[in-house]
Structure 1
Amino acid sequence: MLGMVLAAGAGRRLRPYTDTLPKALVPVDGETTIMDISLRNLAAADLRDVVVIVGYQAQAVHERKAELERRHGVKLTLVHNDKAEEWNNAYSLWCARDYFDQGVLLVNGDTVHPVSVEHTLLSAPATSDILLAVDAVKKLADEEMKVTLDGDGHLKLITKLMDPADAAGEYIGATLIRPGIGERLADALQATFERDPQLYYEDGYQELVARGEKIAVAPIGEVPWVEVDNHDDLAKAREIACRY
């Protein structure tokens, strides 16, 4: 199984940091970046072969590749998204489709969370080919990627466009993708970005559900984490990252 970090986004709301860096390389604890935390977590979960999807300011990741490998004891394979500044991340994840069949633990490159999330996903029973890490504790608002579940506890709906009161929790940007789903996931992602290139990869998960696939969820418990979209989020990340 591989680790995978989705790190192609521009993060324009984090300027001036992201004038010259992708969002994943913004520091959150001294010189420690969001990507450092992602790679540290994956290595701690014994996932040392890591695919990193790059796009915006990709050269900054290339320049740090050797140092990141040395620091975290990982081997990085960089996959380039040629439309990172034009299209949303359904296409970005699709760019790494050739690796899905090896099994992947995917983490968003703008999420700061403890390694317990990786352990929760990897230790869960294999009841479906895709398993989503979900925060069922946090009070939700409009911006979050929210989920609802069917009567069997599988994913029914995943979208930001939902009344928070109707949601069962928030998808936190970490997914276990088992090898058997690779080709079907790639096809669902392609159908998603071909329908609208501004859609999210989570819309690809919704496409799978519409096709009859079962996607399970794994509650992460009450853990400190944050998706870093803006400067307020960055301040929270800096508050919690030093605790890991």
Structure 2
Amino acid sequence: MHVAILAGGRGMRLRPYTTALPKPLMPIGGEYAIIDIILQQLRAQGFRRVTLAVGHLSALIRAFVGDGARWGITADYAEEDQPLSTIGPLFNFLDRLPEHFLVMNGDILTDLNYASLLRGHERSGAPLTIASYQRKVKIDFGTLETIGDRLVRFSEKPTLSYGVNMGVYAISGRTLARYPKNTPLGFDQLVLDLLACGDEPRVYDFGGYWVDIGCPDDYEEANRSFEQMRSTLLPTITAAEEVIA
């Protein structure tokens, strides 16, 4: 039960907040850093080891998380000397990871069952399992569908729904073994490489709560909704800690 947390990004879309703080340390509800919530959830679900891929303002993350003892987790680090995108950092510490492991961004707030995602991936035999969330997008214009120059369908300000990558996935070591260390690689390119060779990823549909704090609007939404979602995000943590104690 090992998780790699991608925590090295510069958070350009979240500036000016991220000028002083890396995204995983952004405060939620005036009480927690988002990485605190994530580590509490992981510990409650049975994860015991975490490797944090760090870069931007890494000293602050190291100082906050330390060796992970505060959460009952063993934490270690992989430092990015150069930008390696979203998958590239994993190549440099693949030898520390088991055959099947969880990967997630360090800036999401969700009640996803991470352990269930990983167990399902192990059973599936897929190279990669992507947690998927249905995101609705309101179009502020009337949309036109045409064939040639003829209009065949019109919709007034429709709401479209898309399955989007939540920034949480389970990977098997064999999937990454083909790539050398220090190779910049984005998640998008990994998926395209797998599709090109016929090794199709699996999708894990999730219908609960999910917010990616990568932009100011979503960060503010996470803070607005935290009190309402507190009992969804935190009660299992309290119960698990009581059993352990």
TM-score range, shorter chain: 0.7 to 0.9
Cα 1:22–1:95, aligned 2, differ >3 Å: closer, same or farther? farther
Cα 1:3–1:184, aligned 2, differ >3 Å: closer, same or farther? closer
The within-5 A match list for 1:79-228 is: 79-84=78-83, 87-114=84-111, 116-124=112-120, 126-127=123-124, 128-135=126-133, 137-140=134-137, 169-178=163-172, 182-188=173-179, 197=184, 200-221=186-207, 223-228=208-213
Which residue of 2 is the match for residue 161 of structure 1? none
Q: Deviations over 1:8-38 (max 9, x none)?
A: 0011232333112211111112231121122
Q: Give unpaired runs (5+ residues) of structure 1.
A: 143-163
Native 8 Å contact 1:28 1:34 kept in 2: yes
- 1-side partners of 2:138 and 2:78: how far apart? 33
* Residue type of the alignment partner of 1:104: F
C-alpha deviation, 1:209, in angstroms: 2.1
Q: How many residues align?
A: 208
C-alpha deviation, 1:141, in angstroms: 7.6
Cα 1:132–1:101, aligned 2, differ >3 Å: closer, same or farther? same
Which residue of 1 is the match for residue 39 of structure 2? 39
Cα 1:184–1:240, aligned 2, differ >3 Å: closer, same or farther? same
Native 8 Å contact 1:120 1:218 kept in 2: no
Cα 1:97–1:117, aligned 2, differ >3 Å: closer, same or farther? same
Q: Give identity over the alignment, percent.
A: 28
Native 8 Å contact 1:185 1:208 kept in 2: no
- 2-side partners of 1:226 and 1:140: how far apart? 15
Which residue of 2 is the match for residue 235 of structure 1? 220
Q: Secondary structure at the match of 1:229?
A: coil
- 2-side partners of 1:13 and 1:231: how far apart? 7
Q: Give unpaired runs (5+ residues) of structure 2.
A: 140-158, 234-245
- 1-side partners of 2:120 and 2:87: how far apart? 25
- The structure where strand makes up a greater share of residues is 2
* Residue type of the alignment partner of 2:113: V
Cα 1:241–1:81, aligned 2, differ >3 Å: closer, same or farther? farther
TM-score (norm 2): 0.74
The within-5 A match list for 1:17-36 is: 17-36=17-36
Native 8 Å contact 2:99 2:174 kept in 1: no
